[in-house]
Amino acid sequence: MEQPSRKPANPSFSSGPCAKRPGWKAESLPTDALGRSHRSALGKARLAEAIAKTRAVLQVPDSHLIGIVPASDTGAYEMAMWTLLGARPVTAVAWESFGQGWVTDAVKQLKVDAKTVTADYGVLPDLGGIDTDTDVLFTWNGTTSGVRVPNGDWIDDDRQGLTLCDATSAAFAQDLPWAKLDVVTYSWQKVLGGEGQHGMLILGPRAVERLESHTPSWPIPKIFRLTKGGKLIEGIFKGETINTPSMLCVEDYIDALDWAASIGGLDALKGRADENAGALSAWVEKTDWIDHLAGDPAARSNTSVCLKITDARVANLSEDDQRAFVKRMEKRLSAEDAAFDIGAYRDAPPGLRIWCGATVETDDVRILTEWLDYAFAAEAASL
């Protein structure tokens, strides 16, 4: 097969950190807050601005508080688990590696009274059977499986438990039913293409009530503490972060939020992700060597799209040999500056994982598919 004549303008298709917004330039970021304390008037103002713009673009209702916390989505979600769990039984739901991490934390670290509900990569468990009178741990979009929750209909409005939702690759690309979500976490480096190490913790009123009425039986590290004297530390949700943030990363996040607002906000972001995923799916449907890992179209992610190679020459290889085949495809594409970092997550089945979030351009996705065909044909010829 002949090598394609054109290349993506931005070959960054990693599922995190993800592609920067179109037109991004480091020199466009304000620098007046750099070298200043995050506790200065200027520092707190910039952090508060990031929170306010998050609320506007993500359409977070006033009923929910928004805080910037350390350690990316992982830090935000573990902060919620360590401070909120223990008051009620827990249902921990997982169908990919990050959700399984929350299962492990609940069962092996916190040792709470937990029921686990799991499914293999590529499918969802039976959400209709989840008891939402328990505290429910789940991931809205499985970044390593390409499987997302289609909606929140399975969550009871009159539930007694809390819902703790890891939305790190869903926020800004998929609808989140805020009335059904008591805790939402995500990181900057996904749909908006921000930098790593900072997480967002969004708490609904029922989560705040739990924080102020429940004291966990285990020690709470200082970096996780959300209450003092039995009351919420409200400053965290006004820009007074728990530990020192990178003000350069804050400026980068504000820049991404400004870009999002300038193109039409949440609806535009979702539309761009849908268009990107649609372009990739159109290619998959007409291509005989590859398919979606997620079998149900309603549950397929529009951000972290995971694919499996179905051609018998590869599919019949051992798992290690399949991974080696994909690595060779990756190396070929990277050497040509055609695509970076598109291999499946290390714990997922062998295959490809292509980021289709809002910072990616649809033309680049279409060009990428030409290179995927080329790389597969080149490597398969040697089998």
The answer to whether residues 373 and 352 touch, using CB atoms and an 8 Å cutoff, is no
Q: Report how far residue 127's alpha carbon sits from residue 184's, in angstroms, rounded to the nearest whole number.
A: 18
Helices 72-84, 97-104: axis angle to 10 degrees equals 30
DSSP per-residue string spanning 50-78: HHHHHHHHHT--TTSEEEEEESHHHHHHH
The answer to whether residues 202 and 64 touch, using CB atoms and an 8 Å cutoff, is yes
Tell me the two tokens of residue 226: 């959300």
> Is the four-CA dihedral 106, 194, 56, 303 of positive or negative sign?
negative
What's the pLDDT score for residue 120? 96
Count CA atoms within 13 Å of residue 344 on its CB side.
Answer: 27
What's the pLDDT score for residue 265? 98
Q: pLDDT below 70 — which residues of the chain? A: none
For residue 357, give the nearest of 61, 5, 12, 1 by alpha carbon: 12
The answer to whether residues 93 and 117 touch, using CB atoms and an 8 Å cutoff, is yes
What's the pLDDT score for residue 250? 98
What are the pLDDT digits (tens) for 21-73?
Answer: 999 999 999 999 999 999 999 999 999 999 999 999 999 999 999 999 999 99
Tell me the two tokens of residue 314: 């590869």
Tell me the two tokens of residue 64: 């929910």
Domains defined along the chain, listed by start? 27-261 (3.40.640.10), 265-380 (3.90.1150.10)
pTM over 0.85: yes
What's the pLDDT score for residue 341? 98
What's the pLDDT score for residue 172? 98
What are the pLDDT digits (tens) for 303-340?
Answer: 999 999 999 999 999 999 999 999 999 999 999 999 99
Give 165-168 contacts, CB < 8 A, sequence gap 24+.
Answer: 165/138, 165/139, 165/140, 166/73, 166/77, 166/98, 166/99, 166/102, 166/138, 166/139, 166/140, 167/139, 167/140, 167/141, 168/16, 168/73, 168/98, 168/139, 168/141, 168/143
Q: Report how far residue 248's alpha carbon sits from residue 71's, in angstroms, rounded to the nearest whole number.
A: 16
User: In this structure, how many other beta carbons lie within 10 angstroms of the beta carbon of residue 287?
Assistant: 16
What's the pLDDT score for residue 162? 99
Name every residue whose Cβ is closer than 8 Å to that of residue 63 and which is 6 or more positions away in sequence.
178, 204, 205
For residue 97, give the nearest of 36, 168, 192, 10 by alpha carbon: 168
